[in-house]
Structure 1
Amino acid sequence: MPAADAQDVAAVLSELLARPSSGSILERALTHALTLLDDQANAYAVLRRGPDRVVAVVGYPQSLIGTPLSGPWAGSKPRLLRDGTREIYEMNTTDVQEQLDACGMRGLPLTLVVPLSDRGRGLGALVFDRTSTEGITPEQQEAVARWATAVAPLLGVIDSRDEWRQTARQITSAFVEAVESQEFDALGHGQAVADLAVRLGRAVGLVEREQEELWYAALLHDIGKIHGEVGHPQVGANFLHGVPHLAQAQKAIRHHHERWDGQGEPDGLSGEDISLYARILAVANAYVRSGNLEQVRGQAGKALDPRLVGLLEKLPQDR
């Protein structure tokens, strides 16, 4: 591979690694692969987690994402379907065929299917439908296959990260329940606050990674009570000392007893000097403890951020 091409691929791979999800990785992977096909194709990516599903598209409508789709991607080698999309149509139900029709996929003359696999495990496929009358040369097929080989391990990393994230959540939840079980009326409190805090965070506009950190802050906000009620926010915050990716969660735990009017503790912070996560946590905590929206509304502008209380009022209420 020429040095310039190698640098281009390295740059794209670096960008892929910075992306947080399989869908975003595969969308960028499709975009780069299309340049290898002179951009004369539409493309989609299929991921094999449970039922095979479309998770990324380029050139096709976004409505195709999420569609369960069967196809000839169980093998390990690229396939050129010279009858185009016909084989894929035949492998799917009438309902799915209608979705494909709506996306303009019927009758396309040539399809290239490039499986994605990591250490022998089939992960899915990149699929390219020619939109011109030109063929796909062996050199183009080889270039796309090499690119797919480079991308596939990144999906393995994402899978591992998601598995570890789920495991970390389960361990954290179990630990919190063990602490909460010491108080009869506390069991499940952390999870309830975490669920509501994430809903508030989403309403504020927090992205997925921020929602994840907020979840940890909310679930762990009372963990300091393992050493008693007095000073538990500071004690709880200390549990996250030395965990850089939860630095904002640590701050939220420390300050979730601050008040909007500055009369809280431990540092007497007021207004927006209190971190956003801590203010969200305070509102969620107040509502879960009281179960009374009117009571929480009465604390707006006093103990609680009035804007966040307003957002709470707009959320569908479970109680």
Structure 2
Amino acid sequence: MFRRPRTPPPTAPVTEARKPTPTAAGEAPDATRVLSDLLARPTLEGILEGALSQGSALLGGDWRGYAILRRGQDRVAGVYGYPKALIGTPLSGPWAPMKPRVLSDGARELYEANPPELHATLDTCGMNDVRLSVVAPLNDRGRALGALILDRTSSEGISPTAQEAVTKWAGAVAPLIGVLEGREEWKAAARQITSSVVEAVESQEFDALGHAQAVAETSLKLGRAVGLVGRDLDELWFAATMHDLGKIHGETGHPQVGANFLHGVAHLTEAQKAIRHHHERWDGQGEPDRLSGEDIPLYARILAVANAYVRLGDLDRVRAQAGKGLDPRLVAALEKLPQ
């Protein structure tokens, strides 16, 4: 229905981690298979979930767990066997010393380290049923990234060999997590810098302040509605946020000027096209290249609809442009979004 600029690579289902091949407690897993399992979901959350899954297998199975990352405040960044709603929750706990530990007194330390208002969340996740926990620190070249915490409702102990295997596994996977975490930090920094530059330009014209953010929010909603995910949404965000940046040199020709800011940025080539062509019209009467219909890049069509909606502030006025200035199917998708 909607022609995309490229076909994203297939990804593994995101609802459940790939189950590792059963491994006897403490037995060294096959490295090739484990790497394949981990990279099946090459995101920070996916890698952490895979790391927890493999950690459970090393302990003999029947374990669930969560991963903590230290980002100023310790937060849950991945889960295995626990509800995904736990992700993002700030927690303190027995991993604080960043040393391998086996806790035979259940989740006592976890509950004691957190305020009472979090106890209901922990109860809902079933952590009050935990009888045994294993803490495996995630250390990368002296940097404490966080920890894998594996829980079991049975109080049966584990062997020193199994604990050592999980500790070594956490140490082996930590560098990969460090790379992914660094990428997330740089992505966040790039977005913050971009937003700050755009706000500085918008501040020169009071009525424009906040326009880019509003267009970006609407563009992302539309993008998700037509099936964009991951990196596609990242590019769409940059396109929408920067679409009027060219106005720093005046209104005339600002789409081309704005597109030039991304010249040579290989990872944002589709965003560059979107900025250049967001003033094209569905009927071919736009600029700069008088493209029409689906010859206009998808991101540019999404941006045009979002831009019109934010500027006009009325669905009826946007609907009047369907099939003329705007992609009629994207306008229909906009109408279905929660207002």
Q: TM-score, with normalisation over the residues of structure 1?
A: 0.84
Alignment pair present for 1:56 and 2:113: no
- Match of 2:24? none
Q: Are the structure 2 counterparts of residues 291 and 102 from structure 1 closer, same or farther at C-alpha, using a change threshold of 3 Å?
A: closer
Is 29-38 or 124-133 further displaced after alignment? 124-133
Alignment partner for residue 43 of structure 2, among 20, 23, 26? Answer: 20
Task: Give 1:107 deviation, angstroms.
Answer: 4.5
Q: Is the 8 A contact 2:104 2:155 kept in 1?
A: no
Instruction: Give identity over the alignment, percent.
Output: 66
Cα distance in 1 between the residues matched to 2:86 and 2:310 = 39
- Match of 1:5? 30
Structure 2 unaligned regions, length at least 5: 1-26
Q: Is the 8 A contact 1:253 1:278 kept in 2?
A: yes
Instruction: Give the alignment of 1:1-319 within 5 angstroms.
Output: 5-12=30-37, 15=39, 19-21=42-44, 23-132=45-154, 134-180=156-202, 185-317=207-339
Letter matched to residue 7 of structure 1: T
- Match of 2:14? none
Q: Is the 8 A contact 1:77 1:114 kept in 2?
A: yes
Cα distance in 2 between the residues matched to 1:190 and 1:3 = 52
Cα distance in 1 between the residues matched to 2:103 and 2:206 = 64
Q: Is the 8 A contact 1:67 1:96 kept in 2?
A: no
Q: Once superposed, what is the RMSD of the aligned Cα atoms?
A: 2.9
Q: Are the structure 2 counterparts of residues 307 and 73 from structure 1 closer, same or farther at C-alpha, using a change threshold of 3 Å?
A: same
Task: Give 1:134 deviation, angstroms.
Answer: 4.6
SS at match of 2:127: coil
SS at match of 1:106: helix
Task: Give 1:51 deviation, angstroms.
Answer: 4.3
Task: Give 1:246 deviation, angstroms.
Answer: 0.5
Letter matched to residue 193 of structure 1: V
Task: Give 1:192 deviation, angstroms.
Answer: 3.2
- Match of 2:18? none
Cα distance in 2 between the residues matched to 1:83 and 1:131 = 11
Letter matched to residue 176 of structure 2: L
Letter matched to residue 293 of structure 2: G
Count of aligned residue pairs for this structure pair = 313
**What do the CA deviations read for 1:130-172 (whole angstroms, capped 9, x no partner)?**
3556532212111111111122233333343233223322332
SS at match of 1:38: coil
Q: Is the 8 A contact 1:30 1:44 kept in 2?
A: yes
Q: Are the structure 2 counterparts of residues 113 and 203 from structure 1 closer, same or farther at C-alpha, using a change threshold of 3 Å?
A: same
Is 34-43 or 266-275 further displaced after alignment? 266-275
Task: Give 1:182 deviation, angstroms.
Answer: 5.6
Cα distance in 1 between the residues matched to 2:230 and 2:31 = 32
Q: TM-score, with normalisation over the residues of structure 2?
A: 0.79
Cα distance in 1 between the residues matched to 2:124 and 2:163 = 28
**What do the CA deviations read for 1:42-73 (whole angstroms, capped 9, x no partner)?**
22222333543333222233344344433210
Q: Is the 8 A contact 2:130 2:154 kept in 1?
A: no
**What do the CA deviations read for 1:76-112 (whole angstroms, capped 9, x no partner)?**
3210112233333343444544433333333443211
Q: Are the structure 2 counterparts of residues 85 and 4 from structure 1 closer, same or farther at C-alpha, using a change threshold of 3 Å?
A: closer
Structure 1 unaligned regions, length at least 5: none
Q: Are the structure 2 counterparts of residues 171 and 58 from structure 1 closer, same or farther at C-alpha, using a change threshold of 3 Å?
A: closer
Cα distance in 1 between the residues matched to 2:219 and 2:178 = 31
Cα distance in 2 between the residues matched to 1:178 and 1:104 = 48
Q: Are the structure 2 counterparts of residues 103 and 227 from structure 1 closer, same or farther at C-alpha, using a change threshold of 3 Å?
A: closer
Letter matched to residue 237 of structure 1: A
Q: Is the 8 A contact 1:74 1:115 kept in 2?
A: no
SS at match of 1:286: helix
Is 96-105 or 275-284 further displaced after alignment? 96-105
SS at match of 1:114: strand
